[in-house]
Chains A and B, each alone.
Chain A
Amino acid sequence: MQQPSPALSSPSTGFLGPRVSPLFSSTVEQSSDGGVAVSSTDVLRPSTAVALSTQDQGKQAPPKKLSQAMEGLQRAHRHIADIRSGADLLLEALEIAVNRRTKETPGKKASDGVASAVETLRNALDALRATARDLESSGILKGASQRHEENQPWGLQPPSVCPDGHVTPYAWKRQIAGQAAASAVERTRLALKSFGEQKKHLFLGVGDDHRSKKPRTGTFRASADDLSLTDILRKVQTDASGMVVTPYARLEWAKRTSCVNISKVATDPGQALAYLPPQINNAKVEPGTQSTLPVVDTPPRPVEKLAVLEVSIPGVLRAIISLQPTGSAYPDAIAVFSHDENGGYVHAWGKSIHKLHQRISEHGVNALHHFRRNFQSTCLQHLLHWLYTYRSLFLEPCKECKRMTALDSPSDLLLPPLVRLYHHLSLPQTGKSENSKVTYELAPYHIACVPKKELECP
């Protein structure tokens, strides 16, 4: 299968005339002299065909490219020769192994021989593949990508095989899908994180029963003679007539504001106390008498879960106090609303729709912080007492200007005297009711009427 030498054909009009160069024909002759096997011929033929076409371009291509192409082809040729010899070796080793086995000699050597032959062959094949890839990438050999480009002239990329074996028609689709999945995961993670933080803020104590009941700030230390929450609530029932304090668990209050119409004013202190667990060692209750507690629709709640206090002064206002930690007597937040207000925003961090109650809430938050700083153990009692003084919100005129309404000039609002100064508030002592000189009611002031000297803390 020799190519016709150029000498035989006319220089201009041979069948392969202008395309065949003397250099190339010598290469081809070399391979054909080596007794080319059929398979290697097949390998060579397409490369030859391509080379021929490349030669056409090669004449126009710079000499460097041409020499690189020639080099690559020579390498390929050598690799093919190696493969041939490797195949021969393999056949030989297999024959020996078969003969050896029949002669019952140890098959170790035979298998070694076979293994080494296989190894040689594999290496040669790999080398050939590598060379072919190089030639393909440099545009000399026509490979799969080039064929693909020819068949699909629109510029689509050949299908890519991903590391996990999946074949994607378009590389960018998978990339986008991957990016979308990654961002969805990221977004979900961020959303979960923010929900968790909000839950911690709004529902303190929910779901953390396994944690210890220590108060959040390290400075609070409950001593033995501090009153517990139940004691305070019972005390309020007896001492503060006209004010009703009802305790709730936190989730229970949230459900109540969202479902139930809470405009019904709590006026019966006994009913409020029915939510507390009954006193076990109550010596006043004689055996045989019926309990005076009214029947309520929900059973008494355990003290550890009580976290929201609803303080109701009928006709005036309703205050919501949040306790932290749950079941203790340390108030965390306070907000004031009117009795008519319903809805999910009625909680200790909510804001009333009425300007008057908004102002009282702000004042209440200041009072709360003052009490927490100065009266750590009796903070709740001070706060409840301070709220109790608001019974006279609409009944007593301002001490300073002697009027009920005053214009609050920055906001043009007419407000009643809603300031109750908490700086010098002291708790009423039990058993000292004969001391009539000390009054435990606070004087009402308008926001603008507060005398400056009263604001100075002792």
Chain B
Amino acid sequence: MPVKWLLYWQPSTGSTVSSQTLVDVMKSIESINGVRTGRWQVTASNHRPIQRDQSMGLPQDCARELLGLTFSEVPSKHYFILRGEHMVVEAHANMQNIMEKLQLYRNRLNIFFEGFQYQLGDFQLKAGRAVLAHSENLRGIVLEVEYVPVSSLEQTRLLLQEFVEMWQEVVTAQNMAGRFTPLEPNYSDYNLPDQYSWQHTALQYVNLMVYFLHAQRN
């Protein structure tokens, strides 16, 4: 599977994130001859266990927090990240229905990452925004960079780094106040191999969701 890097928009001090930023980003992609190829969406959710009896504690082998993810490109799968246990789990998309029926875990909140995707030669870019479900509150701007020919994380590190730097120059040329910062989780903590996969992507998006939630709080 092609390697993806996830970047988020960090506004410079004094400015805030706005929808105009996303429009500017898309314009700059189109200015370097990116071709729009479609829409994309990622749904990130936060589940907490339901405690029927408040006096009794949770059983020990029960996860305290389930962070789930669904990708529009893989609608049949649902991914879970268990941060405490350092695990990435892949499940069938029915999992959410099953959890609702069993009433074991409750969905506390959802964040939608959605936008447009572009093709630039052997690179694929996904530019979008992060919004909380049931509200139009913009949490952040997201850029996902994918290098299609290679699946190895180590091999593409230099290449993607230079691409991000080049992208930064484009952004500054457009007079946008801020920069795109890559977010790289520690894959080895979760026992993920060098060969890129959807598990890696799930981890990236979950980290981003957590970051956005904390940033909002602050």
A-side contacts of B161, CB under 8 Å: 404
A-side contacts of B1, CB under 8 Å: 340
A315 close to B121 (CB less than 8 A): no
B159 close to A412 (CB less than 8 A): no
Chain B residue at minimum C-beta to C-beta distance from A397: B158
Beta-carbon contacts under 8 Å, B1-45 to A:
1-2, 32-33
A394 close to B156 (CB less than 8 A): yes
B151 close to A340 (CB less than 8 A): yes
Q: Which stretch of A111-119, A235-243, A350-358 is in the interface?
A: A350-358
A405 close to B163 (CB less than 8 A): yes
In Å, the complex CA distance between A316 and B154 comes to 11
In Å, the complex CA distance between A405 and B121 comes to 13
Say yes or no for B152: interface residue by CB 8 A criterion: yes
A-side contacts of B154, CB under 8 Å: 315
Choice from A315, A356, A397, A413 contacting B151 with Cβ under 8 Å: A315
Chain B residue at minimum C-beta to C-beta distance from A414: B121
Choice from B33, B121, B151, B162 contacting A404 with Cβ under 8 Å: B162
Given contacts A338-B150, A405-B166, A414-B163, contact A395 B121 (CB under 8 A): no
B121 close to A411 (CB less than 8 A): yes
B-side contacts of A316, CB under 8 Å: 150, 152, 155
Say yes or no for A339: interface residue by CB 8 A criterion: yes
Say yes or no for A416: interface residue by CB 8 A criterion: yes
A354 close to B151 (CB less than 8 A): no
B-side contacts of A213, CB under 8 Å: none
A354 close to B166 (CB less than 8 A): no
B155 close to A404 (CB less than 8 A): no
B-side contacts of A357, CB under 8 Å: 149
A405 close to B122 (CB less than 8 A): no
Chain B residue at minimum C-beta to C-beta distance from A391: B155
B149 close to A354 (CB less than 8 A): yes
Say yes or no for A423: interface residue by CB 8 A criterion: no
B158 close to A412 (CB less than 8 A): no
In Å, the complex CA distance between A354 and B149 comes to 6
Say yes or no for A403: interface residue by CB 8 A criterion: yes
B-side contacts of A405, CB under 8 Å: 159, 162-163, 166
- In this complex, how many residues of chain B approach chain A with their Cβ under 8 Å: the count is 23
Say yes or no for B120: interface residue by CB 8 A criterion: yes
Q: How distant is A112 from chain B, measured CB to nearest CB, in Å?
A: 100
In Å, the complex CA distance between A455 and B1 comes to 36
In Å, the complex CA distance between A393 and B32 comes to 25
A339 close to B122 (CB less than 8 A): no
A356 close to B120 (CB less than 8 A): no
B-side contacts of A411, CB under 8 Å: 121
A-side contacts of B151, CB under 8 Å: 315, 338-340
Mask of A354-365 contacts with B, CB within 8 angstroms, 1/0: 111100000000
A354 close to B162 (CB less than 8 A): no
Chain A residue at minimum C-beta to C-beta distance from B163: A405
Say yes or no for B123: interface residue by CB 8 A criterion: yes
Chain B residue at minimum C-beta to C-beta distance from A341: B149
In Å, the complex CA distance between A9 and B161 comes to 128
B-side contacts of A356, CB under 8 Å: 122, 149
Interface centre among B122, B123, B156, B158 (most CB of A within 10 A): B122
Say yes or no for B98: interface residue by CB 8 A criterion: no
Given contacts A355-B121, A412-B121, contact A315 B163 (CB under 8 A): no
Chain B residue at minimum C-beta to C-beta distance from A357: B149
Say yes or no for B148: interface residue by CB 8 A criterion: yes
Mask of B147-185 contacts with A, CB within 8 angstroms, 1/0: 011111011101101110010000000000000000000
Choice from A315, A340, A354, A397 contacting B155 with Cβ under 8 Å: A315
In Å, the complex CA distance between A354 and B150 comes to 10
In Å, the complex CA distance between A456 and B152 comes to 36
B33 close to A412 (CB less than 8 A): yes
A-side contacts of B166, CB under 8 Å: 405, 414
* Given A394-B159, A404-B161, 8 other A-B residues pairs in contact with their CB atoms under 8 A: A340-B1, A355-B121, A404-B159, A412-B120, A413-B121, A414-B120, A414-B163, A414-B166
| Interface CB pairs A-B, < 8 A, 28 | A315-B150, A315-B151, A315-B155, A316-B150, A316-B155, A338-B149, A338-B151, A339-B151, A340-B1, A340-B2, A340-B149, A354-B122, A354-B148, A356-B149, A357-B149, A394-B150, A394-B156, A394-B158, A395-B158, A404-B159, A405-B159, A405-B163, A412-B32, A412-B33, A414-B121, A414-B122, A414-B163, A415-B121
Closest 10 CB pairs of A and B: A413-B121, A315-B152, A354-B149, A394-B155, A338-B149, A404-B162, A404-B158, A405-B162, A315-B155, A412-B33
